[in-house]
Amino acid sequence: MLISRRQFLKLASLSTIGAVACNFFDEEEFIAQSPVRLPEDLVTGIDNWYATNGNGPETEGLLVRVIEGRAKKVQGNPLFPTNKGVSSIRSEALLQELYHPDRLSGPMVRTGPRGSKESFVSSGDWDKSLEILYKKLYSLVDHDQMLMITGAKRGSLAFLIQEFTNTYGGNHAVCKSVDELVYENTIKKVFQQEKFPHFDIAKSDFILSIGGDFLGTWLSPIKHGRGWGEFRQGEGRSRGTLIHVDSRFSLTAANADEWLPITPGQEGKLALSIAFVLLDEGLIDKTIADDLTEGQGSRALIDFAPDTIGDQLGIPHVRHRSTPDIIRETARAFAKHGQKSLAIGGGNAAAHTNGSFNMNAIYLLNHLVGSVNTEGGIIFNPSAPIPELNVSLKPNSMIEMESITKKITDGGVKLLLIHGSNPVYSMPADLRFKEAINRDDIFVVSFSSFLDETSQMADLILPDRVTLESWSNDIPDPGPGFQVVSMGQPVVNPLPGINPMAFGDILVRMGHELGMTDNPTFNNASYYDLLRNHANRLFSLQRGSITKPNFDAFWNTLLQRGVWWDLESIGDNQTLEIPSLIDTIKQKSEPAITGPSGSTHNIFYLVPFEHISLTDGTNAHMPWLQSTPDPITSVAWTSWIEMNTDTAKGLAIKEGDIVNIEGANGETISAQVYHHPAVPPTVVSMPFGQGRKSGDVYSKDRGPNPMEILGMPHDKHTGSLAWASTTVRITKTQERTPIPKFEGIVPAYATSEEEAIAKVTNES
Amino acid sequence: MPKKFIWVSLGLGGIFATTTVVLVAIFILQAWWGLPFNVLGWNDPPVQPIAFPHTQHVAVDGISCAFCHRNVLEGDSASVPAVELCVFCHKTIQGDEAPPEIQKVIDHYNNNVPINWEKVHRLPDHVQFSHEPHVRFLTETQGLGLEAACSTCHGQIRDMVEVEQVRRLKMGDCVDCHRNNQHLTENTGITDCTTCHY
Amino acid sequence: MAIQHKWGMVIDIDRCTGCQACVIACQAENNIPVNEKVDFLSRRAKQWIRIDRFWEGEYPNIKARFIPVLCQHCENAPCEPVCPVFATYHNNEGLNVQVYNRCVGTRYCANNCPYQVRFFNFFNPKFPESLKNQLNPDVTIRSRGIMEKCTFCIQRIRRAERTIEGKEGRVLNDETMRDGNYNPACVSACPTETLTFGDLNNPNSQVVKKSKNKRNYRLLENLGTDPNVIYLKKVDPHHQKEGHHA
């Protein structure tokens, strides 16, 4: 090998300096590059912070630090009314989505058998790939045979998807298994609201939370967290109290002043029992009480008297009190703070066959103490400032998904477009979605940026731009109680060699080429133009936080701030009708728990939960999210099953033992046991989010997903998946592997009373 | 073979070996404390892809340093100019009948290919250096002109056909200056390790 | 006139929910390689800031206590005198400094740290090629054989000094620090404002005001390390007596 003098010098300096100091001496270390063109705002070594928005289920206003065209750090946008300058772990990981080693570099077509990673080859340039899609859309005779499956979307993209399916004539479905349908339905019934309301946690004095892990994963944890800091130690207020009722020890339970374990599915009865105490002891306004009960007073709820139903709820003797006493004390504490008391619930309380009953009962409590539309209570959110942005694509229920899957199985769908969701992975295994689309007469187009379980089944993959590269807007849901429109801009360009195309652009172009131009939406040159048009509508309102004489100035300010809001436009609080409590009482039903039968000593309620960072598994390919320790168990990179320490010891199961878990549908998965001192003895818990069968090195083979053994029980009223309503049989296997967890990495360094690390006082 | 011959050759070899070791030691020690001797091409100014004469641009044309190295007044690195900036002038200056070196620049521009200059000064990764405060200190507090400020570390660039490193830029170099000027700055932590190492 | 800062942090554990946002924010800012599964199994996971979780009581009267622990930047740090090469020392801004290029990796400091917040690089860090684009150019990547720990995001403090004090000629205080995104990454990320960062020498700063709260205490106070991180106790109305078990 010939070495030039220059190379020799490089090698020589490499070895000397490399031995002394740090690493990474790349070729680039020795050059200073003159780019051909240099944008004015690019100063080498100086960072720019661009405002944009996160694209997840909860909208976050973000600031992204960009140095020399590379995104370096994501932080919250301080102007943004919901997250106010902070960000979640999920937003942090947008950087890894952007620079993920396994991102698809461009459009791909399938050449081999369906479902194999090796079947895909690059399909060349975009024009060629879009031609394939165009031909499929054009040649489809019966447009009813087109089905588009997307994730839950809001803002202009939701509008565009809706316009496309309406104009073209196809069908549309939103696929998300851990959905908020029951909650949404409850809000409609109890408060007659379309939009999720804002919980005024910051100004509340007492929160009774049932089921929903609102500090961890439920709805909008970052927004709740902003309120939480104030709730606990805000200036000029006394410390708020949280009582959390939950069948598992969630992050919210860990932070509550009191955690009341309960038998899964009994949450509604508890709420009505509390209502009984409120009425019976005359703790609330008599007129409200009469309105709600049609004049019957506590007699209407006599079946729910604490002494009558106390034994059915499964609440243990927390602080050595009997269950009826616990209910009465909780009710009194709740009533004491009047309009500053908040009753919220969701999560596993809603994920039962009687979920709607549970949720109705919980939210009615707010009416009893009058904390609806008041400071420190539940505050309604207005609809979007312009109708185009009011479109919100909400998940379809499990029953609807069943009929959609049946239609695919029966050959009723010839063209399937899938964007922003991974139904093969995230839907319960019993839906058999993968088997449904595994047929020859269906053409599947995926818009995923990664090869996941669903895109692997596709015929054509047209990778979308990732969040930090795309134009977007969004309406936060739940919002902060007034109108907010968030705006997202590309903060960086795709890396060289990565050639994605925005989904919105593809839809606009297809609409245009298919001659759908009667609909003005498809007269836009691009998705960007559509966003600008919608922003123009917003500009012409001439109100809110940005008022400018001309649109260009408005647009620039909007991009700079990343958000528009109008404090004056608040939720509708005029037409509130208080629903009758009697209706809810009539709905009373016991949860139908399904599961294996036989001897009961090893049968447990299965209460799954959303993983703190992976949530339902859509983010499982981000290494940071995988390496985030679960806050309670500190387990990372794997799935686990939480068992009460004493119960596990009783079954001779050690920590790390692999157990077989037989579920409601007869299937069995196996997972490692974590000894958890705070899980109720009758319950085991498992996180959603792992169990990816294909995909990249980060997400693959990381333990099972409880979705595989749930079967498909559903809420009676909404058809939403009742994912907390099954039991499982646990049987020990002979295998055992250590659990990857942070716990124990740092040796216990001070645990005696005097040297306590986390000191506690009882004076606030 | 006579014994004497062996002794002589061993002696000569010993002298030769000792000399080599001493020379190498001197070379290493000298390179440790300062710039290495210019032996066998060590420490030659790097050969640039385009022979850019600072003599012409600075000394003759009188272009300010910050015109091309435009980040030096605001950013961490002084930055080399975009090809665009070169062509901005060279479109008209010797545009038609360009000498080969200028033609190279124009080719880079037309073909949309960046120029990879060889670095002359390079600091290891564990040193965090920002030009901006140094230039600000030298011009505002010390009252030097911009070119004089740059020359403090980079030498008389205006006289260099090929730019070479003139100061060692070892830690001692930095600390000497920081120590001597500590009383002149507001920052008392100027000789602290975390001024540069973090 | 010389401006003398003394950086410090107040951590109100009554606000902390244990959500781990600070942990990942720190990893993103400070070029900490992703903690792989094998790092957890071999007990070599690096978290400059971590959330410790303690159990208290028995089911059903059980409580989990969360506390974020990071380098305490002790005024009287046990890690400093044991370093044979002076790679760790206390500077006049209240920071406990780790100088990477001086460190020879004896690990004495980690042994002597009562808070267990120092981490050793047993291997060279590995980043997938494309993910290197995310690395922060302001922070040195630590190679094999050296110690690393929380720096209070000194790179952000230095930028703030250069920009706010130097270029713009303004005063460096709580507001300017926050508005310019110069607060440490963990402080910027915390949803509940558990963490407050600021200048302990500035009587008007939030850290000084909050540190006067009657709930204040410092970790392992009896060791006399005099940390610059001040904790505020967790409030629990049902709490009987001090103490918990791990």
What is the pLDDT, as a whole number, of residue A545? Answer: 94
**Would an 8 Å CB–CB cutoff place A759 in contact with chain C?**
yes
Q: Considering only the beta carbons, identify the residue of A100, A254, A637 that sits closest to C130.
A: A100
Nearest chain C CA: its distance from B105 CA (Å): 29
Q: What is the pLDDT of residue A714?
A: 92
- Chains touching chain A, criterion 3+ CB pairs below 8 Å: B, C
- Pull the structure tokens for residue A263: 């038998």
CA A522 to CA A518: how far, in whole Å?
A: 8
In sequence order, which residues have a C-beta less than 8 Å from that of residue A495 and are 6 or more positions away? A99, C130, C133
Statement: residue A61 has pLDDT above 90: yes
pLDDT-wise least confident of A564-568, A753-757, C155-159: A753-757
The whole-number pLDDT of residue A13 equals 43
Contact A721, A401 (CB under 8 A): no
Average pLDDT over residues A139-152: 94
Asked if residue C239 belongs to a domain, the reply is no
| Cα(A553)–Cα(A557) distance, integer angstroms | 6
CA A36 to chain CA centroid, nearest Å: 43
Q: Give me A304's structure tokens.
A: 């729910």
Which CATH number belongs to the domain containing residue C136 in this structure? 3.30.70.20
Provide the 10 A C-beta neighbour count for residue C139. Answer: 19
Q: State residue A8's pLDDT score.
A: 43
Q: Which of B82, B117, B122 sits opposite A38 (nearest CB)?
A: B82
Chain C: partners with 3+ C-beta pairs within 8 Å = A, B
* pLDDT range class, residue A604, cuts 50, 70, 90: very high
Closest residue of chain C to B125, computed from CA coordinates = C140
Q: Is residue C242 part of a domain?
A: no
For chain B, the distance separating the N- and C-terminal CA atoms, rounded to the nearest angstrom, is: 65
For helices A286-293 and A355-369, angle between their N-to-C axes, nearest 10 degrees: 150
d(CA A258, CA A123): 58
Rounded-to-integer distance, Cα B125 and Cα A432, Å: 54
- Looking at chain A, the whole-number percentage of residues with pLDDT higher than 90 is 76
List chain B pLDDT tens, one digit each, 198 residues.
678 888 888 889 999 999 999 988 888 887 777 777 766 666 678 889 999 899 989 988 899 999 999 889 888 888 889 999 988 888 877 655 668 888 889 899 999 999 999 988 888 888 999 998 899 889 988 889 999 999 999 999 998 888 888 888 888 888 888 888 877 766 666 888 998 998
The domain in which residue C189 lies consists of 7-232
Q: Answer yes or no: is C175 within a domain.
A: yes
3-state helix, strand, coil in chain C (%, to 5): 25, 20, 60
pLDDT at A17: 41
Name the minimum distance, in Å, from the CA of B58 to any CA of chain C.
27
Contacts of B198 in chain A (CB under 8 A): none
> Is the pLDDT at A212 greater than 50, yes or no?
yes
pLDDT tens digits for range A473-489: 999 989 999 999 999 99
Residue A762 is given by DSSP the state S
Residue C246 lies in a domain: no
Distance (Å) from the alpha carbon of B77 to chain C's nearest alpha carbon: 12
Calpha distance A440→A422 (Å, rounded): 20
Q: Are A682 and A604 in contact (CB under 8 A)?
A: yes
> Cα B54 to the chain's mean position, in Å?
13
From A488's Cα to the closest Cα of chain B, the distance in A is: 27
Q: CA angle, A69 as apex, A128 and A154 as ends, to 5°?
A: 65
Residue type, A108: M
Instruction: Give the closest-approach CA distance of A675 to chain C in angstroms.
Output: 13
pLDDT at position A25:
53
Residues 683-722 of A with CB under 8 A from C: none
Structure tokens given for A105: 């570099």
In this predicted structure, the answer to whether residue A16 has a pLDDT above a threshold of 60 is no
Question: Does residue C244 lie in a domain region?
Answer: no
State the best of C10, C24, C206 to mutate against chain A, taking most chain A CBs within 10 Å: C24
Q: Which of A251, A685, A742, A753 has the highest number of chain C CBs within 10 A, making it the mutation to test binding with C?
A: A742
Per DSSP, the three-state class of C146 is coil
- Please tell me the distance from the alpha carbon of residue A16 to that of residue A11, in angstroms, as a whole number: 9
Q: Are A34 and B80 in contact (CB under 8 A)?
A: yes
Pairs of residues, one from chain A and one from chain B, whose beta carbons lie less than 8 Å apart: 81
Q: How many CB atoms lie within 10 A of CB A237?
A: 16
pLDDT at residue A753, as a whole number: 65
Phi, psi of A454 (to 5 degrees): -85, -45
Torsion angle of the four alpha carbons C92, C96, C102, C106, in this order, in degrees rounded to the nearest 10: 150
Instruction: Please confirm whether the linkage preceding A747 is cis (ω < 30° from 0).
Output: no
Q: Where are the alpha helices (DSSP H) in A181-285?
A: 181-191, 221-233, 251-255, 267-280
Q: Which of B136, B187, B198 sits opposite C154 (nearest CB)?
A: B198
Q: Which residues pair with C231 in a beta bridge?
A: C11, C217
| B96/A342 Cα distance (integer angstroms) | 79
Instruction: Pull the structure tokens for residue B109.
Output: 């521009």
CB A594 within 8 A of CB A713: yes
Tokens encoding B143: 């009252």
From chain A, the residues in CB contact with C130 under 8 A are 99-101, 103, 495
Nearest residue, CB atoms, A637 vs list C37, C59, C236: C37
Tokens of A277: 């105490």
- Domains, chain A, in order of start with CATH, read 1-31 (no CATH), 45-95 (2.20.25), 108-174+387-474+490-561 (3.40.50.740), 181-379 (3.40.228.10), 603-736 (2.40.40.20)
pLDDT in tens, C78-119: 999 999 999 999 988 899 999 999 999 999 999 999 999 999
pLDDT at res. A618: 84
Q: What is the mean pLDDT of chain C?
A: 91
Does some domain include residue C224?
yes
Answer yes or no: do C161 and B132 touch at CB < 8 A: no
Q: Do A319 and C238 touch (CB under 8 A)?
A: yes
Give the mean pLDDT of A281-296: 87
Closest partner CB to C92 (pick from B74, B128, B188): B188
Radius of gyration of chain A (CA): 27
- Which of A56 and A128 is assigned the larger pLDDT? A128
Residue A193: is it exposed, middle or buried by C-beta count within 10 angstroms (0-12/13-18/19+)?
buried
CB contact under 8 A, B81 and A34: yes
HEC profile of A51-79: EEECCCCCCCEEEEEEECCEEEEEEECCC
Task: Kindly list the distances between the CA atom of residue A366 and the CA atoms of A220, A274, A378, B70, in Å, as whole numbers in the listed order.
Answer: 20, 12, 8, 62
Contact call for C158 and B125, based on CB within 8 A: no
Contacts of C155 (CB under 8 A, 6+ apart): B128, B198, C136, C138, C139
Task: For chain B, say whether C224 makes contact (Cβ under 8 Å).
Answer: no
The mean predicted confidence, pLDDT, of chain A is 90
CB-CB: which of A101, A259, A629 is closest to C130? A101
Closest CA to A114 of A617, A621, A453: A453
A37 contacts B83? CB cut-off 8 A: yes
d(CA A477, CA A250): 23
C-alpha separations of A322 from A212, A306, A310, A328 in Å:
25, 10, 8, 10
Q: What is the dihedral of CA A638, A643, A648, A654, to 10 degrees?
A: 20
What is the predicted pLDDT for the residue at B186? Answer: 65
Tell me the C-alpha to C-alpha distance, in Å, between residue C124 and each of A189, A236, C98, C127.
Answer: 58, 50, 18, 10
Nearest to A474 by CA among A159, A71, A110: A159
Interface touch B125/C167, C-beta < 8 Å: no
Determine, for residues B188 and C167 on separate chains, whether the beta-carbon distance falls below 8 Å. Answer: no
Angle between helices B83-90 and B100-110 (to 10 degrees): 120
Tell me the C-alpha to C-alpha distance, in Å, between residue A110 and each of A113, A117, A132.
8, 9, 12
Q: What is the pLDDT of residue A97?
A: 93
Residue C116 domain-assigned (yes or no): yes
Cα dist. B88→B83, B85, B100 in Å?
Answer: 8, 5, 17
Chains interfacing with B (3 or more CB pairs < 8 Å): A, C
Domain count, chain C: 1
Confidence bin at A582 (pLDDT 50/70/90): confident
Asked if residue C227 lies in contact with residue C218, where contact means CB atoms within 8 angstroms, the answer is yes
**How far is it, in rounded angstroms, from Cα A629 to Cα A254?**
16
Residue C153 has pLDDT above 50, yes or no: yes
C117-140 average pLDDT score:
92
Cβ-nearest to B118 among A31, A36, A38: A31
Sequence letter at residue A171:
N
Q: Which residues of B touch A23 (CB under 8 A)?
A: 125
Give the number of other Cβ atoms within 10 Å of residue B79's Cβ: 24
Residue A231, Cβ density class (10 Å: 0-12 exposed, 13-18 middle, ≥19 buried): buried
pLDDT at residue C188 greater than cutoff 90: yes
Asked whether the predicted pLDDT for residue A74 surpasses 60, the reply is yes
| Banded model confidence at residue A63, pLDDT cuts 50, 70, 90 | very high
Residues of B in contact with A17 (CB under 8 A): 124
Is residue C134 less than 8 Å (CB to CB) from chain B?
Answer: no
Average pLDDT on A743-748 reads 83
Q: Establish if C93 touches chain B: CB-CB under 8 angstroms.
A: yes
User: What letter would DSSP give residue B196?
Assistant: T
| Nearest chain B Cα distance for residue A31, angstroms | 5
Is A445 within 8 Å of A417 (Cβ atoms)? Answer: yes
3-state secondary structure A407-465: HHHCCCCCEEEEECCCHHHHCCHHHCHHHHHCCCCCEEEECCCCCCCCHHHCCEECCCC
- From chain B, the residues in CB contact with C6 under 8 A are none
Give A744's strand partners.
none
Note the pLDDT of residue B28. 82
Angle CA A146–A152–A156, to nearest 5? 85
* Model pLDDT for residues A216-238, shown as the tens digit of each residue: 999 999 999 999 999 999 999 99
Which residues of chain B does A6 touch, with a Cβ-Cβ cutoff of 8 Å?
A: 46-47
